[in-house]
A = this chain, B = another copy of it.
Amino acid sequence: MFENTEKTDISKLGEFGLIEHLTKKFDIQHETTTIGLGDDAAAIDCADKTQVVSTDLFIENIHFDIMYSPLMHVGYKCITASISDICAMNAKPAQVLVSIALSSRYTLEAVEELYTGIQTACNNYNIELLGGDTSSSVSGLVISVTAIGYAEKNTLVKRSGAKAGDLVCVSGDLGGAYMGLQLLEREKQVFLDQKDMQPDLEGKDYVVGRQLRPEARVDIVEAFNELKIVPTSLIDVSDGVSSELFHISNQSNVGMKIYEEKLPIDQQTYDTALEFNIPPTTAAMNGGEDYELLFTLPQAHYDKIKNSADISIIGYVTEPHEGIELITKSGNLVPIEAQGWENFKKNED
């Protein structure tokens, strides 16, 4: 990917040069930002809002694979994933701090590509890069993102407020990022096996895009604000809907019923799942990285969202003793188990 142009050894710049080089194109424009890049720390004037802070680590070969993820997309996706946590509090993301550690096989051009993705995301979401740190790494690339956002004092939404009778809703559609990952992993294997085959991603642009360059649902947070909706609980779908339902259920002390037929699944996701012999419902329930918002609402808000093409009502909240269950298309009740993030079992030192 970055083999055919001029290379710059990062050691020529040194740490200070690298940070300055990478961040000089980023503008500071939020009025709450007192000091942005270039000092020991960023300074923020929070005024009368409540601030929300979240931090995430992205590790090469755990969270991303540069064999099929262009670094520009890796940069974009790290920002998406991080600000998605801010959206999951019903807050609007405003600032990020990004630290990277990289091994010597990364050229300056490669790191610039990464930062182009970060900058594109910052521009798209109108957020600022406030600071960060660079260092070397023994192996591969490590990216740490701290995201900061703001909410009006009375509109912050935790995971713990769902009440029996509430509607369970989700934005967008589910399982696409997971099916994109299956496709990219398959094509990587084909490449590694050196079979005389071209990558076969034709007609798969949607699911591949969901995996490589997902978007955070800042627009849904804005819609809540416009519709004067404050969800009773809210979480983003990073580990998979099953896992997120489990978090809300746990922290709100409620049960849930989810209708299989109401799960929003894109046709391409559906077809790709069948191609891989994966039940589409499994992809939708357990596939991670969709970065959609899962939330609960009092039924009184039904009229405000019933015509939204971008919000699906997938079930309802019950008393805790009823557990979390899927009502299948055939009308059976199946307990939902949290799947989610299981990396610890897969990776060896």
- The yes or no answer to A323 lying at the interface (CB within 8 A) is no
Asked if residues A133 and B41 are in contact (CB atoms below 8 Å), the reply is no
Using Cβ atoms and an 8 Å threshold, which residues of chain B touch A62? Answer: 101, 135-138
Using Cβ atoms and an 8 Å threshold, which residues of chain B touch A88? Answer: 40-41
Most central of A40, A42, A158, A235 by chain B CB within 10 Å: A40
- The yes or no answer to A318 lying at the interface (CB within 8 A) is no
- The yes or no answer to A249 lying at the interface (CB within 8 A) is no
Using Cβ atoms and an 8 Å threshold, which residues of chain B touch A133? Answer: 55-57
Min distance, Cβ A14 to any Cβ of chain B, angstroms:
7
Cα-based distance from A61 to B10 in the complex (angstroms): 19
Cα-based distance from A40 to B86 in the complex (angstroms): 7
Asked if residues B55 and A132 are in contact (CB atoms below 8 Å), the reply is yes
Given A347-B136, A347-B138, A349-B103; A42-B54 close (CB under 8 Å): yes
Cα-based distance from A130 to B256 in the complex (angstroms): 29
Most central of A14, A98, A133, A136 by chain B CB within 10 Å: A136
The listed residue (B34, B50, B159, B344) touching A40 by CB distance below 8 A is: B159
Most central of A55, A100, A348 by chain B CB within 10 Å: A55
- The yes or no answer to A44 lying at the interface (CB within 8 A) is yes
CB-based nearest B residue for A41: B54
Asked if residues A45 and B55 are in contact (CB atoms below 8 Å), the reply is no
Interface residue ranges of A27-64 to B (CB < 8 Å): 34-35, 38-47, 50-57, 59-63
The listed residue (B63, B156, B345) touching A34 by CB distance below 8 A is: B156
Copies in the complex: 2
Using Cβ atoms and an 8 Å threshold, which residues of chain B touch A137? Answer: 59, 62, 347
Min distance, Cβ A42 to any Cβ of chain B, angstroms:
5
Which interface class (under 10, 10 to 19, 20 to 34, 35 or more) fits A?
35 or more
Contact with B along A145-170 (1 / 0, CB 8 A): 01111010100101110000000000
- The yes or no answer to A91 lying at the interface (CB within 8 A) is yes
- The yes or no answer to A104 lying at the interface (CB within 8 A) is yes
Asked if residues A38 and B251 are in contact (CB atoms below 8 Å), the reply is yes
Asked if residues A347 and B34 are in contact (CB atoms below 8 Å), the reply is no
Asked if residues B85 and A144 are in contact (CB atoms below 8 Å), the reply is no
- The yes or no answer to A343 lying at the interface (CB within 8 A) is yes
Asked if residues A50 and B63 are in contact (CB atoms below 8 Å), the reply is no
Contact with B along A314-349 (1 / 0, CB 8 A): 000000000000000000000000001111111111
CB-based nearest B residue for A159: B39
Cα-based distance from A257 to B280 in the complex (angstroms): 70
Contact with B along A262-306 (1 / 0, CB 8 A): 000000000000000000000000000000000000000000000
CB-based nearest B residue for A93: B41
27 A-B Cβ contacts within 8 A? Answer: A35-B156, A40-B54, A40-B88, A41-B91, A43-B51, A43-B89, A43-B91, A45-B46, A45-B51, A45-B153, A53-B97, A54-B97, A55-B99, A55-B146, A57-B99, A59-B101, A61-B138, A62-B101, A103-B347, A103-B348, A105-B349, A135-B341, A136-B343, A138-B140, A138-B347, A138-B349, A140-B349
Closest 8 CB pairs between A and B?
A46-B46, A41-B54, A144-B144, A40-B88, A103-B349, A11-B344, A146-B146, A55-B97
Known: A42-B54, A56-B99, A136-B346. 9 other contacts (CB 8 A): A43-B50, A43-B89, A44-B50, A45-B51, A57-B100, A57-B135, A138-B139, A138-B349, A139-B349
